[in-house]
Structure 1
């Protein structure tokens, strides 16, 4: 992609976030705070170095709250596209694609990447972000032949590589990806009863499309509670302030470290370390560590 070319960005944020239940019965997972802002806020802030044509959020669960939040990003051309039926990631991405040759950047809505986005997208081929992992059988991985991606495999029993796909993809042609997704849907090619992106990428490879990859040294995974809390601590550790306290929250006679205190909260006579406190929550006479509290 030429640096001057416009790029579309698709971020799927439709899921119910069942791994965070009961908290996500009351909010969308991408709006959970991590550090000083919601997960989605970190993603939108980091992509602004790109020459963006549009940002398409594939919404579902608590779409109204997502729409309300992105009003804070009026400088980006953001559209919410509702996914009425969740049939897998490829199905979600299809809703945001156009039948044009322009490129698209896809970022999963529970992952934060501190990378050079311009460099990641400045490619003539599609580019897959990967991480070297110790347990590749737990991931979707790529297989290589002399540094060229030849296969995408979901959770292989006998992995031939340790390069895991981690949720960021630059695709050089929306049209070619759209055609591949349509093929897997028409042919009912599913993985675990859902239409998945790696299956579409495999169709693209069969159609002679080339893929390269970029190794990402680390990223902030917010897909499960343990990882989100680790990401929260890491973000605060890199900031001047080790807490975020809303202007409408009250903290009385309490010690806080690596804490996000949301609007309307009252924290009194308590000690909190690496705790995310959601809106309008009262915490009194408590010692808490590594928790997400509230609803």
Structure 2
């Protein structure tokens, strides 16, 4: 099994948090979004993960090294591939054409999921979907009475279906997918100005491929600050019984910790209340403060503050009044 992870986008909706790191490396409950994604896919696969192929922009050597370690964490080889310009989902996947072999899962790195099933690798293709209230921003599928996918439609402005494609796909034949993606580029077949994966899926279906929907219990978006904070909340609830969520090296004095929380290495909490639903990165200090439902990254300092529903980046210094925050790396803010 190979996992293909397109993640070359700039993550503009997540600024300022994506000014120094790509969005998929923002932490959720102590681990980067993309690591959570890869680990969750590995859990539902019946066979070992041979390779994780990351499709990125010009993110730098440090980011690439972190991605290769994420692949190693699931026992796989990591590979790096580049998408130099945003030409659509089909083009992005094809940037990792060398990894499109055998059983393949394609997972776009801006979404997480929870699922209680084991992937059926005997199926020709599985498209993971979730019912949504407004399907217009998404690709959607239509089903027949046998539960098979009969139609793929990209961002329909008129109602077609409310089953949105969440961005995770399984293909039994990676080479076949590669050839269909290449066909779109060779013949300049675009939809809404881009090469779309849904066009390749429609072509494959018209040639006899049978695709089925993949059941998930929850779709967790990481598209903006509020959505990411909520995803952190839900993830902490899922994993709250795991050991090691509060590091043994954390120094907690005269403070109250309300689970579920994640507290990283060498965190200092003093005269504070932290939780519920808070993730605090390594080497961060919280003094005389109340922090709830928030993500605070590494090497930051919070003094005499009351924050909720917030994201603070790395190397932030915040001293102030109660507020809803979204502070990027290296900010200093005093009330």
What is residue 80 of structure 2 aligned with on the other side? 80
Distance 2:221 2:124 in 1: 26
Instruction: Tell me by how many angstroms 1:293 deviates.
Output: 1.0
Q: Which protein is richer in helix relative to its size?
A: 1
- 2:31 counterpart of 1:37: yes
Going from structure 1 to structure 2, the CA distance change for 1:104 and 1:63 (only over 3 Å counts) comes to farther
Instruction: Tell me by how many angstroms 1:115 deviates.
Output: 2.4
What is residue 4 of structure 1 aligned with on the other side? none
- 2:2 counterpart of 1:8: yes
1:261–1:278 contact (8 Å) kept in structure 2: yes
The C-alpha deviation readout for 1:142-201, integer Å capped at 9, x for no partner, is 123333322211121222321110011001211221121112212222233322211211
Distance 2:85 2:115 in 1: 32
Going from structure 1 to structure 2, the CA distance change for 1:44 and 1:148 (only over 3 Å counts) comes to closer
Instruction: Tell me by how many angstroms 1:46 deviates.
Output: 2.1
Distance 1:14 1:225 in 2: 19
Going from structure 1 to structure 2, the CA distance change for 1:159 and 1:72 (only over 3 Å counts) comes to closer
What is residue 60 of structure 1 aligned with on the other side? 57
Going from structure 1 to structure 2, the CA distance change for 1:170 and 1:72 (only over 3 Å counts) comes to closer
Distance 1:175 1:72 in 2: 25
Distance 1:73 1:54 in 2: 7
Instruction: Tell me by how many angstroms 1:68 deviates.
Output: 2.9
Going from structure 1 to structure 2, the CA distance change for 1:192 and 1:160 (only over 3 Å counts) comes to closer
Structure number with bigger Rg = 2
What is residue 141 of structure 1 aligned with on the other side? 140
Distance 1:43 1:26 in 2: 21
The C-alpha deviation readout for 1:40-70, integer Å capped at 9, x for no partner, is 2212322334322211111225243432324
Distance 2:191 2:279 in 1: 37
Q: 1:249 aligns with which of 244, 267, 282?
A: 267
2:151–2:202 contact (8 Å) kept in structure 1: yes
Instruction: Tell me by how many angstroms 1:37 deviates.
Output: 1.5
Distance 2:235 2:101 in 1: 37
Larger relative CO (CA 8 A, sep 6+): 1 or 2? Answer: 1
The unaligned stretches of length 5 or more in structure 1 are 1-6
Distance 1:218 1:97 in 2: 30
The unaligned stretches of length 5 or more in structure 2 are 242-258, 314-328, 330-335
Instruction: Tell me by how many angstroms 1:123 deviates.
Output: 3.0
1:98–1:178 contact (8 Å) kept in structure 2: no
Aligned residues: CA RMSD: 2.1
Distance 1:115 1:66 in 2: 28
